[in-house]
Amino acid sequence: MEGTIDSLLLGFSVAFRPDVLWYAFLGCLVGTLVGVLPGIGPLAGISILLPATFGLDATKAVIMLAGIYYGSQYGGSTTSILMRIPGEASSVMTCIDGYAMAQKGRAGAALCIAAVGSFIAGTFGVLVLTLIAPPLAALALRFGPPEYTALLVLGLIFLAYMSSTALPRTLLMAAVGLLLGTIGIDNMTGHFRYAFDIPELGDGIGIVPVAVGLFGLGEILSTPTATVVGKVLAPKLRELLPSRTEWRQSAMPIARGSVLGFLVGLTPGSAHIISSFLSYAVERRLSRHPEEFGHGAVAGVAGPESANNAASTGAFVPMLALGLPTGPVTAVLMAALLIHGVPPGPSLVNDHPGVFWGFVASMYVGNLMLLALNLPLVGLFVNVLRIPYAYLYPLVIMFCIVGVYVVNGSVVDVWIMLAMGVFGYLLRKFGLDPAPLVLGLVISPIFEMSLRQSLIMSNGNWTIFFTRPIALVLMLVAVALLAMSALSFLRKRRDWRTRLAEVEASE
């Protein structure tokens, strides 16, 4: 414990450096804007701004990019409450009661509860991350290739199980990503795979063109100008402070949302979306007045907003401690660390303590900054929504092109981005989620390497995944999840995932 405090103090000495504070602030500010603007999610925001971090050191780069991620969770609530448009997928649930509160003249209170709930949950998440990431990393140092293979199998199955779309659809998207990840030189034998004599494909397909194409351009393609609502409900800032009753009603939902969100954040999948849905369901179930939900229940704002923020912090635990991304956003953040020569994973704490602890400490500071940014400046952020979409979307396309080009100075990457944009558009039409594809692309090389190393280690004996204790436990959990999913399918039971799919479809 003493060691953790010493390390955290080291982190704060990094995080409080004026230049680091500036980049944390910049990340939080951009993140809030990304969250406010519909059509630009955190993934597109991070991917587009990734090249802007090339001139920075790894610590500042990851602090700024992470600021965009958790900042977008704060900003997403603003459009949900004021316009009934989720600026962010994880703010879908906030639309329901947040907008209803705004219509009753309590927009300021709803925004304040969302911001304070997000702050408490975010800080709680960082606190738990501080305590559990280092011991988890120490445990992960005992992992060999079979354990990593089993962990990745479990991760993919868990991702598919937690997804709101059907298990085969999610796994299919992950398989497409895994397949794209095989393009380029095979690291073990030097064979060229599917490069078709294009030199730029020798190093494989980058995550940035794929992520920017699927989530940035793809979103623009499926959003014609006529569908973007320009009407903004102006909040009355003098009513920003919630009443005593509203504070009381929000206290327990914030506490429950924080814990629930963090736990869900540890699991693979769209944790920040799932956590807000689960929190809403839990609050409604526990409420003495469930009939108020949908008509401006304070708990319907406080719970989901806290949960999605805690989940975005929780998602950093597997990334930092195990070197495994649990979602597309953490996958891009991992790519950012790798570009800066810092491999995330169990050795990060020991090999780059300044980066690890500086990053953790910056999240405490970032949450404070976001609270300060989101409440007094809410009027300013709302004005951003008044920029006509006809001017905004060409600008996003330009940043997609620039963002992708600057990574390698390659026009081939920009063509890949365009192809992925069209692919993303088609995936949306057919109800397929592109997020597992990005995840598959990132883990494909790690997965292949650990699988092949495991087989070489065991001289071709595949039972190696069932004879080592940690690998066996992970595999058994994966089998249990598959069995549960099959059972649910056979019984045609409507569980929370079906209801989540219905809510997402209705938005």
Partner 1 sequence: MTLRTDHIAGGAAIIVGLLVLALSGDLPLGSLSFPGAGMWPKLICVLMIILGLLLCVRAGASKPVAEIGWNDLSHAAIVTGATAAAIALYPVLGFIVSISLLLAGLVFLERRRPLTAAIYGVGMSVGVYALFTMVLKSPLERGLIGF
Give me the residues that bind partner 1 (CB under 8 A), please: 51-52, 54-55, 166, 168-169, 171-172, 175-176, 178-179, 182, 186, 188-189, 191, 193-194, 217, 220-225, 227, 390-391, 393-395, 397-399, 401-402, 405-406, 409, 411, 414-415, 418, 421-422, 425, 429-432, 444, 447-448, 451-452, 455-456, 459-462, 489
C-beta of 286 vs 426, nearer to partner 1: 426
Give the bridge partners for 192, in sequence order: 185
Angle subtended by helix axes 299-314 and 107-140, to nearest 10: 30
In this structure, which amino acid lies at residue 471?
A
DSSP 411-460: HHHHHHHHHHHHHHHHHHHTT--SHHHHHHHHHHHHHHHHHHHHHHHTTT
- Provide the minimum distance between the beta carbon of 116 and partner 1 in the complex, in angstroms, as a whole number: 35
Q: Is the dihedral of CA 213, 216, 219, 220 positive or negative?
A: negative
436 token code pair: 């597992």
- Provide the minimum distance between the beta carbon of 212 and partner 1 in the complex, in angstroms, as a whole number: 12
Measure CA of the first residue to CA of the last residue in the chain; give whole Å.
46
- Provide the minimum distance between the beta carbon of 19 and partner 1 in the complex, in angstroms, as a whole number: 15
C-beta of 227 vs 467, nearer to partner 1: 227
Distance CA 13, CA 8 (A): 9
C-beta of 11 vs 421, nearer to partner 1: 421
C-beta of 112 vs 451, nearer to partner 1: 451
- Provide the minimum distance between the beta carbon of 17 and partner 1 in the complex, in angstroms, as a whole number: 20
C-beta of 143 vs 447, nearer to partner 1: 447
Distance CA 182, CA 165 (A): 25
With CA atoms as reference, report the closest residue to 225 among 79, 390, 83, 86.
Answer: 390
Contact 53, 336 (CB under 8 A): yes
Interior angle at CA 97, CA 92 and CA 102, nearest 5: 110
C-beta of 106 vs 340, nearer to partner 1: 340
Total length of the chain: 507
- Provide the minimum distance between the beta carbon of 168 and partner 1 in the complex, in angstroms, as a whole number: 4
- Provide the minimum distance between the beta carbon of 390 and partner 1 in the complex, in angstroms, as a whole number: 4
C-beta of 331 vs 414, nearer to partner 1: 414
- Provide the minimum distance between the beta carbon of 27 and partner 1 in the complex, in angstroms, as a whole number: 15
- Provide the minimum distance between the beta carbon of 14 and partner 1 in the complex, in angstroms, as a whole number: 23
C-beta of 286 vs 387, nearer to partner 1: 387
Q: Which residues contact 413 (CB under 8 A, 6 or more apart)?
A: 200, 206, 208, 209, 404, 405, 407
